[in-house]
Structure formats: structure tokens, C-alpha cells
Chain A
Amino acid sequence: MRRETADTANVVQFHGVGVRYEHGPEILQDIDFSLPAGSFHFLTGASGAGKSSVLRLMYLAQRPNRGRIVLFGRDVGTLRRYQMPALRRRIGVVFQDFRLLDHLSTLDNVALPLRVAGASEQDVRKFVPDLLDWVGLTDQIHAKPPTLSGGQKQRVAIARAVIGRPELLVADEPTGNVDDQIAMRLMYLFEELNKLGTTVLIATHNENLVSRLRHPRLHLEQGHLRLG
């Protein structure tokens, strides 16, 4: 996997980033922060504070109206379209609404990032069942999302986000639909991944989780970011 030589200390850098939708007011204003490589952060804030927008900017689902975003040492604003997929593959995303593909089995959903990256079916059969075992979904390997519970879908979404061993993992409320025991187990999975070098940012409402795990927090309030 390619690593940047320039500014490898920070995987993510936001410089004066502002976002507005249509002609409305800016929901993110002058956002400045950086995530050092191998760090683990929480992103907190009230509903509507702009957590999801920050994450969407990070996983390249939208572009800022102003400011500069640097991912893996590359200014996103200067990237050509054909360069984006390779950058996206370095980022694992857990979407708030899971965004699983209902017509695919658990195995095929989790295997998507590998297949998109051109991995062989041999690798898919080798890595995906192991990960599903880790998140406790071995017995659901052939099940399709509509038959899974909310918590099971959440775990499938997390497995899909981490299967490609991303350098950066962003998760939007990844424990919102699971009980505390499963939530902690998923957090340990993220920490394991973090220990292997993945930079992690988790947006959450769960103060209990934030206080128990003692990772630094980025707090959004009225469109401004405060480091906690």
C-alpha cells in the first residue's frame, strides 16, 4: 500500500474548512484540525452539529465550499477524478444508516471493498469468514441484510469498513444500534485495528463509551470545532 512521503505525521488535515448547503448558512465554519497517523479520536457534538458533514468530507462524499483538506499528504482539491478511487480505498467508512446492499449476502457485502480493489476470490474466501467470525456473524454469512437485526447490520457494516485494512477508518455512530456489550466489543475491534496502524475517527453520542476509552475528542458546537 502506498504511503506518502510528505507530511506522513498527519493522515488528515483540515485548514479553514467551511461547508454550506445550497444558499443556507455555513454549518461548518473555519474547521482546523489534523489527525496524526495512528491516532484514535472521537468526534462528538449534538445532533445537527455537523459531525456527519465532517465525516462526509473525510471520505470524499462531498467537497468543502472553502478551505483545504489534505488526506495522506495530498490536497484533495487538486486531485483528478481518476485519482479519487485509489484514495477512497485507503479509507474505511461505517455509515450511520449502514448502507448495506440488500440483494447481497453478508459475505458479499463485506467482500465489496476487496472486490472493488481487485482482490481474488481466493482472498475473499480467506479473509471475510475470519472477520465475520470476529464480529460474531459466522452463522449469518449467507443471510441478506433484510433478515438481519439492527445490531447485526451494524456489525456487517463495520466488517465491510475494516476488511480492506484501511489506513483511515471513519465511523458514524457505529454503536448506535447495539447493546453495551457488543458496543465495547466493536470498540475493541477498532482499537485492535488502531494498534495495527489505522487512524480512527468515530462520531458518537455515546458519552459512556467516550469516557471509558479515554481517547482524545473533537467536539463540534454551532459549526465550530473544539479539541477536547
Chain B
Amino acid sequence: MFGHRSDLPLKDDASTRFLPWLVAPMVFLCAVALAGVFILSTLINRWDRDVSGTLTIEIAAAPGEAGESAEQTRIRVEQALRILGGTPGVADAHALTQEQLVGLLAPWLGNSELLKELPLPAMVDVTLQPDIPVDLDALGKQLSQAVPGASVDDHRIWLARLIGLSRSIEWLAIGVVVLIGGVTSATVFYATRSAMAVHHEVIEVLHLIGAADAYIARQFAERAFTLGFRGGVVGLGLTLPVLAAIGLGAHKLKGGFLADLSLPLSGWLAVLSLPAFAALLAMLTARATVHRTLARMP
């Protein structure tokens, strides 16, 4: 791969021949974990973007006969809208129509005419200005005092919990990637040590005729790079169908809360670069191992 000749018979070496078959599953696992990190990160960003700039005001339906209740509820909604309109940081506030409310419940209760007869609570969809902070506690108190049955549903509370959980999973996946890198490095370390033991006599001759440590290390490092890259390509080959299947599954969801399960471009680039990273890691580990071992020679 590097075009340098090798004085060491590493190509025929049984002690390192297995290396690609160890690197391949490592790269596969790493790619899956990395893809998970990118997909989660995309999801979190989308949730954050979609939800954190909004909140919902729920106003319980006023008691009484159907007509009277509806009128009272409408008055309460108008009161709430007035308060919201005078609150700094509120960009927009509008009540959901009866049809919109029924539409929200339809997936659970069906599209029955009966739904329209039910005393449904009113909902006010509020959009906040991103650059002006709103004291949600104070707003909640003000609304509940002025408008009977009004409560603020701040999405940020549950979203923060969800994002916290997702971030934990994200860090766990990063930890898995680091761990896999460590295991790969350890595998290369022992394979290199084993190869050095096998070729001890050749190494000693090279050492005694004046080969610098770097000259010997380069030969091991280049071999490790080649084997690491081969393993990486095989691992990537195993990963691509899995990622394609996840992408296909995500496409079928078509919107909704779990949409965007497909890997973003940056994720694809990261996954596709894994064979090169595996090769680089193998090369650097082999080089460091050889230098460390040679340092014990006189």
C-alpha cells in the first residue's frame, strides 16, 4: 500500500493474518454505535427545535349545559389570549378550533360525531420569541388566577427529561466507540508483539547492522495499516445493509415523533471514514509497540 519494500517477512506471517477478522466486527460495532449517536443527535436537535419554542395552555371546559358551557369556555379562552397578548416574549397565541381538537383525539377515540358533543377543554397554542425569555411560572400563576381551569403545559419539562435520556444514550454510544477503539488497539498491540517475537532474529540483525528503530517500526506499521484497512472495509461492508435497513424503516414512518431516523450526511461521512480510522489506529499502535519493544534492546 505504501510502496516501500519490507525486509521482514510480515506478509506470510500467521500471527497477524487474523487481524482483519478481528478489526471487521470492531468496525461493524463501532459503525452501528456511531450511527446511533448521529441519529439520536439529529432527533434531539429536531425535538428541541420543534418544541422548545412553544407551549400549550389548557383551559378546562366550563361546567353547565352544553351551550352555556361552550360560551363560558370561549370567554375564558379570550381572557387567556388577552393575557398572553400582553406578555412580553409571546410571539403568537391562538386557540385550536373544535375541528382541530377532535382531530387530535380521533386516533384514540375515533371520528365519532359524539366527540363534538363532549365538553372538550380548550387549547391555546403559544409560540414564544426565541430571544426574549418568558417567566413561565409567573405566567402560569397569572393565568390560573385570572382564568378558571387554565394551566400551562410547558413541553420543556418532559422534553428536557427526554433529551437528558437521549444524551445519556449518546454518551454511552460514544463510550462504546472509545471502548471498541481500545480493544482494537489492544488486539493490534498483542499481534505486533507476537509478530516481533516470531521475527526476533531478523529484527536483531537489522538492529545490529544499523537500522534505526523507526526503520523497523515503519515495516510493522505499514503492515498493520494494510490489515486494519482490510478489516475496516469488511466491517463497513457488514454495516451498510444494516444502516440501509434502518433508513428504510425510518422512511416508512413518514413523519411523527420518531421521524428522521435516517443517518445524516455527517454521520455517513463518519461511518465511511471508519476503515481509514481503524487502519490509522492499527498503524499508530503497531508503531508505538515496536518502538517500546525495541527500546529494551541495547
Contacts and interface: CB of A to CB of B under 8 A. Distances in A.
Interface string B287-298: 000000001001
Contacts of A86: 210
A198 to B, nearest CB: 16
Nearest to B216: A116
A103 interface: yes
A61 B209 contact: no
B9 A88 contact: no
B137 interface: no
B256 to A, nearest CB: 63
B295 A101 contact: no
Interface in B61-118: none
A103 B5 CA distance: 13
Given A61-B298, A63-B298, A101-B202, A88 B7 contact: no
B206 A116 contact: yes
Contacts of A93: 208-209
B298 A116 contact: no
Given A61-B298, A62-B298, A117 B7 contact: no
Contacts of B295: 81
Contact of A117 (B210, B213, B298): B210
Nearest to A101: B202
Contact of A60 (B12, B205, B298): B298
A78 to B, nearest CB: 14
Interface string A54-68: 000001111100000
Contacts of B206: 112, 116
Interface string B200-226: 011011111111110100000000000
A82 B212 contact: yes
A174 interface: no
B271 to A, nearest CB: 39
Interface string A99-128: 101011000100011011100000000000
Q: Which of A62, A63, A103, A104 has the most CB of B within 10 A?
A: A103
Given A81-B295, A101-B202, A116 B211 contact: yes
A228 interface: no
B298 A89 contact: no
Interface residues of B, number: 19
A146 interface: no
B205 A88 contact: no
Nearest to A59: B208
A85 interface: yes
Interface string A73-87: 000000001100111
Contacts of B211: 85, 116
A126 B111 CA distance: 93
Interface string A186-218: 000000000000000000000000000000000
B298 A101 contact: no
A85 B212 contact: yes
A60 B211 CA distance: 13
Contacts of A81: 213, 295
A86 B212 CA distance: 8
A116 B210 contact: yes
Given A61-B298, A62-B298, A89 B210 contact: yes
Interface of B: 5, 7, 9, 12, 201-202, 204-213, 215, 295, 298
10 contacts: A61-B298, A62-B298, A85-B213, A99-B201, A112-B205, A112-B206, A115-B7, A116-B211, A116-B212, A160-B209
